[in-house]
Amino acid sequence: MDSAAKKVLPEDIAKLVNRHAKIAVASAWIPIGGLDIAAATANVWTMYFKINKMLGLQFSKNAMKSIASAVLSNLVQNLVLSGVMAGLKYVPGVGYVAAASVMSATLYALTQTSGWIYLKALTLMARNDKDIDASVKEVMKDKDSIDEFIKNNKK
């Protein structure tokens, strides 16, 4: 991991996370409630795979699914809001626009936060020689920092 990480610049990873955050915004505008959240979740999972590829890391698909699930389940309060907004998309006109607008900010923030959590977990894993699941759980304990990160990214 160390040799691969030296070849990858932090701004390359930041660009990747930002690109996936923008894809999340686009998924908020999918007119079918539920499909939008599924697309955003798949987007986060894909982002993790791409980060791993950039860093030369190999985790099994099951490990990646459990990591993505752990991060997203801990961000559940925001996912619930996205679910409510997905339902409002069925209200013609203003309901759709309002729901997609709120979801855009929420999904953007969740994707940015998911990338941040994952990168912190990878750093922790490398420093402390822990497995990735334990590292993700440790990063997720800092709920105040995570909430602040989400709040700032929604703006």
pLDDT digits (tens, 9 = 90+) for 59-87: 766 666 667 666 665 555 555 656 666 66
Q: What does the pLDDT look like over 9-42, one tens digit per residue?
A: 678 899 999 999 999 999 989 888 778 878 888 8
Q: What average pLDDT does this structure show over 50-58?
A: 85
- As a whole-number percent, the residues of the chain with pLDDT over 70 amount to 75
pTM of the model: 0.77
* pLDDT of the residue at 22: 95
Q: What does the pLDDT look like over 89-110, one tens digit per residue?
A: 667 777 778 778 888 888 898 8
Higher pLDDT, 60 or 44: 44
Q: What does the pLDDT look like over 116-140, one tens digit per residue?
A: 888 888 888 888 877 777 888 888 8
Mean pLDDT of all residues in the chain?
78
* pLDDT of the residue at 61: 64
* pLDDT of the residue at 69: 66
- Say how far apart CA 135 and CA 99 lie, in whole Å: 34
